[in-house]
């Protein structure tokens, strides 16, 4: 028997931003590649290490809605990849996905990026990696967009930190009560 369900829509504020908690994990994803020929039966499956951003947000029925997006390129590139993009009344430089996320999460600054254009050794990769992977339940907001397959994903150019991560001490106290 066919089952009718209600769609789960992401809750947004009056400005079109979704609010939620961001956690970052390191994972391995299986990627499928084909040669592009419709009649070809050859499909190459291989595993790729990546970072996964997990956004826990509310939907319009006040239920938890999880949105995941993967970052496969783990290279910080201080050179913009595209021309400046207009975002509302602002014009911003567009970097690769990983660099954009690090900038938007305040892990690296625009000053560091500008200095790194002349000397990339300014950026401490170990510290950046540990700060990035330490993100757990960080309050953020972003404007949602649809990807090529029609699924909701965050527009990473609009990603903003809206608060501090809950401290591990507070979590331990809650669990003890």
Report the pLDDT value the prediction gives residue 175, as an integer from 0 to 100: 46
Displacement of CA 33 from its chain's centroid (Å): 23
Nearest Cα residue to 137 out of 54, 62, 70: 54
Domain membership of residue 77 as a residue range: 18-32+43-169
Residue with the two structure tokens 């404007």? 143
Q: List the end-to-end C-alpha distance of the chain, in Å, as a whole number.
A: 46
CB 112 within 8 A of CB 122: yes
Predicted pLDDT of residue 38: 63
Percentage with pLDDT > 90 across the chain: 47
**Residue 7 included in any domain:** no
How much is the average pLDDT of 16-35?
85
Residue 1 inside a domain? The answer is no
* Total of domains in the chain: 1
In this structure, what token pair is assigned to residue 116? 């790194």
Note the pLDDT tens digit of each residue in 39-55: 666 667 778 889 999 99
pTM greater than 0.85 (yes/no): no
Lowest mean pLDDT among 2-16, 25-39, 156-170: 25-39
- Is there a domain that residue 49 lies in? yes
């Amino acid at each position: 028997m066919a089952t009718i369900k209600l769609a789960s829509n992401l809750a947004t504020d009056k400005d079109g931003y979704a609010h939620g908690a961001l956690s970052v994990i390191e994972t391995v994803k299986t990627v499928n590649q084909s040669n592009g020929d419709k009649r070809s039966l050859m499909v190459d499956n291989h595993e790729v290490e990546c970072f996964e951003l997990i956004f826990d947000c509310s939907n319009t029925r006040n239920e938890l809605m999880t949105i995941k997006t993967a970052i496969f390129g783990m290279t910080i590139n201080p050179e913009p990849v595209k021309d400046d993009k207009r975002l509302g009344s602002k014009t911003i430089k567009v970097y690769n996905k990983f660099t954009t996320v690090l900038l938007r999460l305040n892990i690296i600054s625009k000053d560091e990026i500008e200095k790194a254009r002349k000397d990339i050794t300014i950026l401490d990769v170990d510290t950046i990696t540990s700060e990035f992977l330490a993100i757990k339940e960080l309050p953020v907001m972003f404007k949602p967009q649809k990807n090529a397959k029609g699924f909701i994903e965050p527009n990473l150019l609009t990603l903003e930190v809206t608060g501090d991560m809950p401290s591990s001490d507070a979590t331990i106290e809650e669990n003890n009560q």
